[in-house]
A and B are shown apart, each in its own frame.
Chain A
Amino acid sequence: MNKMSRRFKIIDILLIILMVLPLLSCIVLKVVTTPLKEGIVISGAAIFFTIKMPFQDWPVTESQINSLAVMLSILFLCLYLTHGIKDGVWLKRHHFAEIIVEMCKKLVSGNMGDYFISFAPFIAAIIGLSAFSSLVTLCGLYPPTSDLNVVAGWAILVFILITYYKMKCGPVEYVKSFANPVLMAPLNVISEIATPISMAFRHYGNVLSGSVISVLVASALGGLSKMVFGFLPGFLGDIPFLQAGLPAILSIYFDIFSGCLQAYIFAMLTMMYVSGGFPYELYMQRKKQKNCDI
């Protein structure tokens, strides 16, 4: 093991600071801008300010800021994990980075085939962004995935990819793929359009329903404890004793397990739709013919 130089250590610390800084600044922004409220309320993403645009105003919301902060955080996390991997410095975190890359490659080649192995970084990015966006609730921030606009953006991106890979054999084959039995063509078109909608709704609905249920349970327990322990004298009567415990267990399921599971499912569906829509054999046949002609 080589000795680390001072410059290396300074860059390390800088990367850690840059990793934490976006989330910290988001927390500060939330604390500064959110007005004090009585009790627990369910609210959407707060709008910070609106930018005048030619056709429609562009509201800059909490979810956009938070998702940008998560992206920056993941970027510096990746840079931190792989820092010095080419300099011959051996650190434990390099093994961790290699494990992540290997796992992603295995996942993609197992589910999509070896032709799509270049999709591995994209799938890893989807899983990372989605999982960290849901886990950002643990810092007390608004999760970007419980805003339909953010998830719909990802779903539209995936839809463009699906259409691109379906069009690989030319637009004629693309149109033909809908009219497989000719009578089923309208249904096929509808199911094609329903793909991004259902992907977006699935992710958004799961995260949002988790937070709604958590809030409902927490406020119900608060009311119950006011009813049961309300007779206690002084400030003891105001402390919601019953709110301790159950919301934390719900949070383990809804915030951690469900968020990670939805990230995995979104990535799996992306892989299945992209590789399922691509006419692999026809494309390979045509490629071979083209090579023979030349």
Chain B
Amino acid sequence: MLEIAVGIILGCCALGAGAAMIAGIGPGIGEGNAVAKACEAIGRQPESKGDVTSTMLMGCAIAETTGLYALVIAILLLFVAPGRFIDILISTIG
């Protein structure tokens, strides 16, 4: 019985981590848009390449934040949560 419970915990943690990383779609689309617009801007004004590139990198970093929140949650679910849940399970069984 305990094996099944532990298996369910591990499997659900992995599923949750996978589901959390769906959030990676958003930053991907956003950063793609940002880089496309930056390319357009450089094409229009090649002399402002440095400014546009640094601003684009800043914007990409900020747009990445939501994806990184999801990544942190996924990493917590993969590496931290199973041990903690199994500890709780064992302490409740006694």
Contact = CB atoms under 8 A, between A and B. Distances in A.
Taking chain A's interface residues, is the majority helix, strand, or loop, or is none over half, making it mixed?
A: helix
Interface string B59-88: 001001100110110010001000000000
A165 B33 CA distance: 35
B68 A206 contact: yes
A208 B75 CA distance: 9
A187 interface: no
B65 A198 contact: yes
> Interface size class for chain B?
10 to 19
Nearest to B55: A268
A44 B61 CA distance: 24
Given A261-B57, A265-B58, A268-B58, A212 B75 contact: yes
A201 B69 contact: yes
Interface in A187-240: 198, 201-202, 204-206, 208-209, 212
Contacts of B75: 208, 212
Nearest to A261: B57
B17 to A, nearest CB: 12
A205 B71 contact: yes
A42 interface: yes
Contact of B68 (A44, A205, A268, A269): A205
B50 to A, nearest CB: 12
B63 to A, nearest CB: 11
A204 B69 CA distance: 10
A202 B65 contact: yes
Contacts of A198: 65
Contact of A202 (B57, B61, B79): B61
A212 B17 CA distance: 14
Given A202-B65, A265-B58, A265-B61, A209 B71 contact: yes
Contacts of A209: 68, 71
A44 B64 CA distance: 23
Given A265-B61, A268-B58, A205 B79 contact: no
Given A201-B68, A212-B75, 20 more contacts: A42-B79, A44-B79, A198-B65, A201-B72, A202-B61, A202-B64, A202-B65, A204-B72, A205-B68, A205-B69, A205-B71, A206-B68, A209-B71, A261-B57, A261-B61, A262-B61, A265-B61, A268-B58, A269-B58, A269-B61
